[in-house]
């Protein structure tokens, strides 16, 4: 089933999504990877404000290539980065900032699945490396924050228009496609070992 949703996402939007469904997004999408997570949590701890509102937001694990044409920024390529690098930071990030969706590739570990269930957030898988397709779903760039972190690490404020396809990889009910694939892969490993003449 294919759905189209607008950010910021309400809790109802988020809870309505089931693992395996396909979603397209409209509205603001914020990029943020390693440094944004670290920085945002540090700011919060020090009681300092951050320049964007993550509530209900779609946070995109992405380090894009951007180009300045005149005064405006445009996206050259914007595919996802490996989400598992953010595994240790994401549960706390979700708890403190309450994003509605995390967009990335490769999936995330159990503590993040748990945090998503508890606070209402989903993981949307975007095809890794498909950066031109992703850029096509971004109609304009509203701005950039924390640019001093470097082009790939900054928060880019992107305006999405039919951004996708995104596959719900982890829903807010504790279901993870990655976990079910993992289980299957474990079963298949036995067959592979037999085929290669290896010990069980």
16 binds another protein per the rule CB under 8 A: no
What is the DSSP secondary-structure string of 133-159? HHHHTEEEEEEEE-GGG-TTTSEEEEE
- In the complex with another protein, the residue whose CB is nearer, 119 or 155, is 155
72 binds another protein per the rule CB under 8 A: no
Cβ contacts of residue 100 below 8 Å, gap of 6+? 7, 8, 9, 10, 11, 13, 14, 55, 56, 57, 58, 120, 121, 122
Is residue 173 annotated as part of the catalytic site, yes or no? no
Burial tier of 130 (Cβ tally within 10 Å: 0-12, 13-18, 19+)? middle
Q: How, if at all, do strands 101-104 and 58-60 pair?
A: parallel
152 binds ligand SF4 per the rule CB under 6 A: no
- In the complex with ligand SF4, the residue whose CB is nearer, 37 or 105, is 105
Write out the binding residues for ligand SF4, residues 104-143 only, by CB under 6 A. 128-129
64 binds ligand SF4 per the rule CB under 6 A: no
Backbone angles phi, psi at 157, to 5 degrees: -95, 105
Nearest distance in Å: CB 157, another protein = 17
Write out the binding residues for another protein, residues 40-69 only, by CB under 8 A. 62-65, 67
Cβ contacts of residue 129 below 8 Å, gap of 6+? 79
Nearest distance in Å: CB 167, another protein = 6
CA distances from 165 to 20, 24, 26, 144, 159 (A): 12, 6, 12, 24, 16
Nearest distance in Å: CB 147, another protein = 13
Q: Contacting ligand SF4 (CB under 6 A), which of 79, 107, 120, 137?
A: 79
Write out the binding residues for another protein, residues 85-104 only, by CB under 8 A. none
- In the complex with another protein, the residue whose CB is nearer, 105 or 119, is 105
Which residues contact ligand SF4 by CB under 6 A? 79, 128-129
Question: Which residues are identified as catalytic?
Answer: 37
């Amino acid at each position: 089933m294919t759905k189209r949703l607008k950010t910021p996402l309400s809790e109802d939007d988020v809870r309505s999504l089931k693992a395996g469904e396909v979603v397209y997004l409209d509205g603001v999408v914020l990029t943020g990877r390693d440094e944004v997570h670290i920085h945002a949590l540090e700011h919060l701890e020090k009681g300092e404000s951050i320049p964007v509102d993550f509530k209900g937001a779609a946070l995109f694990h992405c380090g894009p290539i951007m180009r300045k044409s005149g005064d405006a920024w445009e996206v050259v390529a914007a595919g996802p980065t490996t989400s598992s690098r953010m595994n240790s930071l994401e549960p706390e990030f979700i708890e403190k900032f309450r994003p509605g969706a995390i967009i990335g590739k490769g999936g995330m570990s159990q503590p993040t699945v748990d945090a998503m269930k508890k606070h209402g957030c989903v993981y949307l898988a975007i095809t890794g490396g498909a950066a031109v397709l992703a850029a096509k779903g971004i109609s304009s760039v509203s701005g950039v924050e924390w640019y001093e972190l470097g082009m790939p690490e900054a928060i880019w404020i992107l305006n999405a228009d039919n951004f996708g396809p995104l596959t719900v990889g982890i829903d807010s009910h504790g279901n993870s496609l990655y976990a079910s694939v993992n289980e299957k892969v474990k079963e298949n490993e036995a067959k592979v070992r037999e085929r290669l003449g290896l010990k069980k």
